[in-house]
Amino acid sequence: MTYVIKRIHKNKASLFVAERHYSAVMPRLTKHFLGFFFKDELVGVLTLGWGTNPMGTIKKMFPELTTKDYFEIGKMCMDESMPRNSESQMLSQTHKWIKENLPDIKYLYTWADGIVGKPGYVYQSANYLYGGFIWTDIYVTEKGEKVHFRTIQRQLKKEMGRDDLKYGPRPDDKIMGQRGFSRVWGKQFKFIYPITKKDRKYLYKYSNNDWNINYPKGSDLEWKIKRPGETSYTITSDMPFVHSKVSEVNKQHRYIAENSLDNFL
Q: Within 13 Å of residue 221, how many CA atoms lie on the same side as its CB?
A: 16
pLDDT of residue 23: 61
pTM: 0.85
The domains found in the chain, sorted by start residue, are 4-264 (3.40.630.30)
The helix-helix angle for 10-20 and 248-264 (nearest 10°) equals 150
In angstroms, the CA 239 to CA 222 distance is 8
Cβ proximity of 30 and 47 under 8 Å: yes
Contacts 24+ apart (CB under 8 A), 252-257: 253/14, 253/18, 253/24, 253/25, 254/15, 254/18, 254/19, 254/24, 256/14, 257/11, 257/14, 257/15, 257/18, 257/24
pLDDT tens-digit map of 102-112:
999 999 999 99
Quick check: 209 pLDDT over 90? yes
Nearest to 145 by CA among 174, 170, 188, 182: 182
Alpha carbon 122 to chain centroid, angstroms: 13
Q: Which residue has the higher pLDDT, 250 or 92?
A: 92
pLDDT band for position 256 (cuts 50, 70, 90)? very low
In angstroms, the CA 42 to CA 11 distance is 14
Please, where are the H alpha helices in 102-141?
121-125
Cβ proximity of 100 and 108 under 8 Å: no
pLDDT of residue 264: 42
pLDDT of residue 201: 98
Amino acid of residue 17: V
pLDDT of residue 22: 60
